[in-house]
Amino acid sequence: MAHLLKDRAIIALSGADTRTFLQGLITNDVDAVASGKPVYAALLTPQGKILFDFLIVDDGSGNLLLDCLAPGRDALIKRLTLYRLRAKVEIKPRDDLAAFASWDGTLLPGITFDDPRLLALGRRSIAPMAGGSDGYLAHRLALGVPEGSDFGSDKTFALDAGLEELHGVAFGKGCYVGQELTARMKHRGTARKRILPVESTDKSALIQGADLRADGHSIGEIASVYGSKGFTLVRLDRLEDAGAAPLDAAGIAVRMTKPDWLSA
C-alpha cells in the first residue's frame, strides 16, 4: 500500500553551487547523493544541536530535493537562504510534490528509493501530489525511529538523537555547522542522553514536556507526543541509577523501550 506522508514537504535546490553549498552546512556527505541513492542528514546549530533533519534526493536532472517536516519547511528555507550568501543556488518550495512510503512491496510513483535510515522503514518516493493512505506514523513509531519534531528545535545533540545509527552523520567529511561539537562527542564515545520511544501503560494520552520520573526522581522529559505514544529525551546515567524502578510522566505510568537499531 502506498502511504501519503501528510506531514512532509519538499524543497528543491538547483544551481551550479548546490552541492558545494550544502556540503559545508549539513551532517552528511552530499557527494554520496546519486540517482536512487539518497542520504539522511541534519542542519545543526553551531553548538551541535538539531534544527532540521531531512532526506536529500537526486531528482535525476542535477537538482536536489529535500524531504523535510512540513511545519518546518518555511523555517528551513529561511535558514538555508541566510547561509546562501553569494552561492549560485535557488531554493524554493515544491507544493506540487509529496512524499510517499511503502513497506509491503507496493510500487510507488515518482522518484523511488530505499529509506537510507533503516531498511525496515521500507521504500520511499517523491512524486506529484496525490491521495494515499496515512499509516506511516504508526509504522515509524513501532520501529522507534524519531524525526522532525521529536528532536525539538535546538534541544538535542545529533548523536544523542541516534543520527549516527540512522546513517545521518559522515564523520570523514569536511567541516559543517556544528561539526566540532559532534566530532568531540564521537571521540568521547559515550552518549549521555538518548531519545527513546515511550508509551503509557494504560493507553492514556501523554503530556509533552512532562518530566519522566523514576521513583520520584527526574530522569528525562517527554519530547513529543502521539496520543499514548511518543519519544522521551532521557539521561542514561539517571536511567541506569533507577534500575527497575517504575516510570511515570505527570503521574501517568509509562514504559520505555530501546529499539534494536540503537547501539547504546
Using DSSP's 3-state secondary structure scheme, residue 79 falls into helix
The per-residue pLDDT for 19 is 97
Q: Which of 166, 186, 206 is the last residue of a domain?
A: 186
Please indicate, yes or no, whether residues 120 and 248 belong to a single structural domain of this protein: no
The per-residue pLDDT for 132 is 75
The per-residue pLDDT for 25 is 97
Condensed to tens digits (0 to 9), the pLDDT of residues 60-84 reads 998 999 999 999 999 999 999 999 9
Please indicate, yes or no, whether residues 87 and 129 belong to a single structural domain of this protein: yes
CATH of the domain at 148: 3.30.1360.120
The per-residue pLDDT for 201 is 97
What range defines the domain where residue 225 resides? 193-256
Q: What helix, strand, coil percent values describe the chain, rounded to 5?
A: 20, 35, 45
Residues with Cβ within 8 Å of 184's Cβ and at least 6 positions away in sequence, in order, are none
Question: How crowded is residue 208: how many other Cβ atoms within 10 Å of its Cβ?
Answer: 17
Contact between 169 and 27 (Cβ < 8 Å): yes
Q: Is residue 263 domain-resident?
A: no
The residues of the chain scoring below 50 in pLDDT are none
Condensed to tens digits (0 to 9), the pLDDT of residues 170-220 reads 999 989 999 999 999 998 876 789 999 999 999 999 999 999 999 889 999
The per-residue pLDDT for 190 is 67
Closest by Cα among 52, 55, 61 to 14: 61
Number of domains into which the chain is organized: 2
CATH of the domain at 220: 2.40.30.110
Please indicate, yes or no, whether residues 169 and 218 belong to a single structural domain of this protein: no
Q: Which of 161, 186, 211 is the last residue of a domain?
A: 186
As given in the structure block, the three cell numbers for residue 8 are 512532509
The per-residue pLDDT for 203 is 96
The pTM (predicted TM-score) of the whole model is 0.94
Please indicate, yes or no, whether residues 90 and 175 belong to a single structural domain of this protein: yes
Q: Which secondary structure element, helix H or strand E, spans residue 22, and what is its range?
A: helix 18-23
* Single-letter residue type at 58: D
Q: Nearest 5 degrees, angle CA 34-CA 165-CA 263?
A: 160
Contact between 230 and 210 (Cβ < 8 Å): no
Which backbone phi and psi does 212 adopt, to 5 degrees? -90, 125
Q: Which of 132, 157, 186 is the last residue of a domain?
A: 186
Q: Where are the alpha helices (DSSP H) in 40-188?
A: 73-84, 136-143, 179-188
Contact between 226 and 183 (Cβ < 8 Å): no
Q: If phi over 0 gives left and psi between -120 and 50 gives alpha, with beta otherwise, what is residue 81?
A: alpha
The per-residue pLDDT for 192 is 87
Q: Is residue 21 domain-resident?
A: yes
The span from the CA of 1 to the CA of 133, in Å, is 8
The span from the CA of 224 to the CA of 151, in Å, is 8
Please indicate, yes or no, whether residues 178 and 54 belong to a single structural domain of this protein: yes
Please indicate, yes or no, whether residues 219 and 182 belong to a single structural domain of this protein: no
